[in-house]
Amino acid sequence: MAPHRSFFPVGGKRQEWCFAVEAMDNRRGKDRAMRRCPMLLLFLLLGWACASGTGTPSPGKNDSAVGIRPCPQNPRYWQYKGKPVMLIGGSREDNLFQIPDLEEHLDSLAGVGGNYIRNTMSSRDSANVWPFHRRADGKYDLDRLSDEYFRRFENLLRLTSSRDIIVQLELWDRFDFAREPWLENSYRPANNVNYTSEKSGLANEYPRHPGQNDNPFFRSVPENGNNELLLKYQRAQVDRMLEISLRYPNVLYTMDNETNGTPEWGAYWSDYIRRKAAEAGVDIFTTEMWDAWDLTSEEHRRTLDHPERYAFADISQNNHNTGQKHWDNLQWVRMYTAEKLRPLNQVKIYGADTGRYGTDRDGIERFWRGIIGGGASVRFHRPTSGLGLGESARACIRSARMFLAEFDIFSAVPDAESRLLSGRSDDEAYLTAVPGERYALYFPEGGSVRLDLRDAGGDFSVKWLDIRSSRWHDAPKVRGGGFAALDAPGNGHWAVVIR
């Protein structure tokens, strides 16, 4: 079937439109079955006006009416305090609750418009504490939880809640359970007074990469391993975490960091914490983060195919890809989830000159493709694999807020196949639009394209945003009824808003 685009009016004086892509291009290697599946029409309401906010909740009390949740009018995005919100962030560490200057770091993020962090419940860095009580002799007692560990955790939620910063938690990080970090871990048999290797089934060394899944710590649940001794302590740790986190409205829950373990593990913990939340009368939203860089892999479908369990998907591993492939993968997963819309989060934007997963330029490009491409969140990964909250990251976050103030991203739909652009080469420019009304493009390295305005009438204003300097540049208006030439003012990263 040849790919095509349809436009559907949704009525009212200001018509909102959406693309309905029924097929994807063979050249880009999309799933054949998905090319045959029709997409549901996205009903786009005027301005995506979600219910108005109801004020700031008191610290330590979770009012579900204002808590983070998929936006009812456009479930591809989040809503917080009753209003649609784009989650944008960057931070220098993954386990921010453990850093000593947390408040200053959060102020720096909020100061440039950031509202989103990642927090792994991890303890493997210097000066971190583990979740269980450490005795005077240096051994851990797993029958007692660490007051300091959970004090730090609640401090994080208190500070972020007061700043309207959303926290995406990760319950388990596999990197704490292998190689050197395992030697310090409180669950290691040699480090506690509660069990031996023989009783627990845990060895004292796991020298291989955690991706080898050598540690049976992640095979304790009834459906896989059923290690009741170990599970007792895992539950105690999670119960204490929930006792704190369920009181705060700004928390999302991810089961693991880039796991390639069994699906039963993540499913168990998602069901467990959702049940605990329901008993407390709190709505929460969970996902699993898989390791595969290919979003079409069977691993990711364990989340994508189970919206009843996982209310959002984290597609951060796509950020190992670059250029047109990075964009195409994002558009594929948007289409795959079209019959059950949900937010697609990207809590880790890889790419920094200091790391192994791309350059500074790659990181900035992935961040902006993630916004223009319809992602619900973008956050720069911590150094050295990402830009963290360094100068380039702060400039991008600031520019993103300037861009979103000018362009209503919540009612626009990405032009997945770049059908409205002519004279475009791969990776030259990316478009999201409400056709006939407003358009926004991202240029990774300057360039020139023509925008199809044949179905639009009247004049359109044009504003160019220099992303690196966070400065707007006005340009002459363009007229509808034909093709409008868009020439970036220079090389480098540019966004343009036409309306």
pLDDT for position 64: 63
**Residue 480, both tokens:** 């509808």
139-171 pLDDT per residue, tens? 999 999 999 999 999 999 999 999 999 999 999
Phi, psi torsion values for 343, nearest 5 degrees: -65, 145
Does residue 89 contact residue 114 with C-beta atoms inside 8 Å?
A: yes
Q: How confident is the model at residue 50 (pLDDT cuts 50, 70, 90)?
A: very low
User: How much of the chain, in percent, has pLDDT values that exceed 70?
Assistant: 87
Placement of tokens 């994002």 in the chain: 330
Distance between CA atoms of residues 362 and 354, nearest Å: 12
Q: pLDDT (tens digit, 9 = 90+) per residue, 73-94?
A: 999 999 999 999 999 999 999 9
Q: Which residues of 409-438 are buried (b: 16+ CB within 10 A; e: fewer)?
A: bbbbbbbbbbebbeebeebbbbbbbbbbbb
Please determine, for residue 235, whether its predicted confidence score (pLDDT) is greater than 80. yes
- By three-state DSSP, how is residue 259 classified? strand
pLDDT for 412 equals 98
> What pLDDT does residue 249 have?
98
In the structure, what pLDDT confidence band is assigned to residue 493 with cuts at 50, 70 and 90? very high
Q: Contact, 211 vs 154, CB < 8 A?
A: no
The pLDDT assigned to 65 comes to 72
Residue given tokens 């660490």 in the structure block:
146
Residues 6+ apart with CB under 8 A from 101: none
Confidence at residue 60, expressed as pLDDT on a 0 to 100 scale:
53
CA distances from 345 to 1, 179, 185, 272, 495 (A): 31, 29, 29, 22, 21
Confidence of residue 212 (pLDDT cuts 50, 70, 90): very high
Confidence of residue 57 (pLDDT cuts 50, 70, 90): very low
Query: Kindly report the CA angle at 308 between 76 and 231, in degrees rounded to 5?
Result: 120
Q: What is the mean pLDDT of residues 273-290?
A: 98
Which segment of 48-62, 101-115, 237-251 scores lowest on mean pLDDT? 48-62
